[in-house]
Amino acid sequence: MPRTIAEERILEKERIIKLSAASAETVFALMENPPEPNENLKKAMRLHAKYCSVN
């Protein structure tokens, strides 16, 4: 069923992330130079590989 124009506008607003300039700089800096994974992330990656591997 096609969406109405009003529904499309609502969905578009939900897709937009609004950040302050400082927050945006932090996000970009982390994307360019991510920190080393901590133990929790390493465990999550192992579990993901174990249960979600594509073979």
Domain that holds residue 14: 5-52
Q: Residue 1's pLDDT band (boundaries 50, 70, 90)?
A: confident
Report whether 45 contacts 37 (CB < 8 A).
Answer: yes
Q: How far is 45 from 36, CA to CA, in rounded Å?
A: 13
Least confident of 4-8, 12-16, 24-28, 47-51: 12-16
Q: Does the structure show a pLDDT above 80 at 24? A: yes
DSSP annotation of 33: S
Does the pTM exceed 0.75?
no
Q: Does the structure show a pLDDT above 80 at 47? A: yes
Rg (CA), the chain: 19
**Number of folded domains in the chain?**
1
